[in-house]
Amino acid sequence: MSSLQWDGWLANTQKRVSPNFNARPSGEVDLLVVHCISLPEGSYGGPWVDKLFLNQIRGNEHPSFADLEGLEVSAHFFITRDGRLSQYVSCLERAWHAGLSSFNGRSNCNDFSLGVELEGCDEDGYEKIQYQVLVDLVKQLQGYFPALTLDRIVGHEHIAPGRKTDPGPHFAWQKFREELEKA
């Protein structure tokens, strides 16, 4: 039985409602995109990702934030380095995480995907707990969206090559897929 409620919010997450979403054109969900994010780049544990997704970040809070103020982005989920799981957008809505993207000849991946951000950066590996939470999350989501098969779980780098590099070379795709198949 899925813990996904009728409104697309998982019961086991910290609910943080981002204003950065809109309706899916078809309601279809058949892709999951793994991202990474850290603010400032390479720094972990602060309030900045949360503030970014809630449109509360200010350009004067850190020199690297100048271009972030007013940026409207979101993801469905965020997994911190210590395994805390937050949800910002209902799975039934379109989060603004993929940007210019394409998967199997279909453009605008936001229309049909779920976005999961891992707290991290391309230069670092990910924590064991992050993989565990991601596997558990995907298993829950597959109960509600059966089209989210193993071959439809990709990195941002796969749907926006040349433009994006996340989750980066340190994301252990093989280990993640093996753990997902075992779960």
Place of tokens 């809505």: 93
Give me the DSSP letters along 123-174.
TS---HHHHHHHHHHHHHHHHH-TT--GGGEEEHHHHSTTT--TT-TTS-HH
Q: Which of 41, 61, 69, 117 is catalytic?
A: 117
Structure tokens, 120: 């991290």
Q: At 32, is the secondary structure helix, strand, or coil?
A: strand
Dihedral sign of CA atoms 101, 107, 111, 115 in order: negative
Burial of 100 (0-12, 13-18, 19+ CB in 10 A): exposed
3-state secondary structure 88-119: CCCCCEEECCCCCCEECCEECHHHCEEEEEEE
Structure tokens, 60: 């004067």
Is-catalytic flag, 117?
yes
Supply the residues annotated as catalytic: 117
